[in-house]
Structure 1
């Protein structure tokens, strides 16, 4: 444990492990998270025009043997 004290019983060992994992895996306070998305991004994205033809062409040209992109979607999933 932290004090370098030797523990012998199952209960003491369990307590040492519990204390350790409780200190490592605690919930973070997410109430003060910074706003990472700038409000003007939504306005820019709303102005992008995408046609059904463009989407179909891109999907048609996907290589299903490639690995997933940054979005995590596998090309095979999108193509089939």
Structure 2
């Protein structure tokens, strides 16, 4: 489902192997991935997740590649 997972101090980036065309499926896939990684995760609203007690804003990006389809990424940025 997911290619790899990395994070910095205030940002989590997840690359997806599958494409999600609606926000609800996208959010549920990200929540499930984070739970599989051992994190406590729940949806607050369509753009906000609570991960290990911290609020994150979730948005989607697409990274174009030369010889393959674009890669969909979930980017979670910590909110103050």
Q: State the TM-score, normalizing by the size of structure 1.
A: 0.27
Q: Whose helix fraction is larger, Structure 1's or Structure 2's?
A: 1
Q: Whose strand fraction is larger, Structure 1's or Structure 2's?
A: 2
Q: State the TM-score, normalizing by the size of structure 2.
A: 0.27
When Rg is computed on C-alpha atoms for both structures, the one with the higher figure is: 1
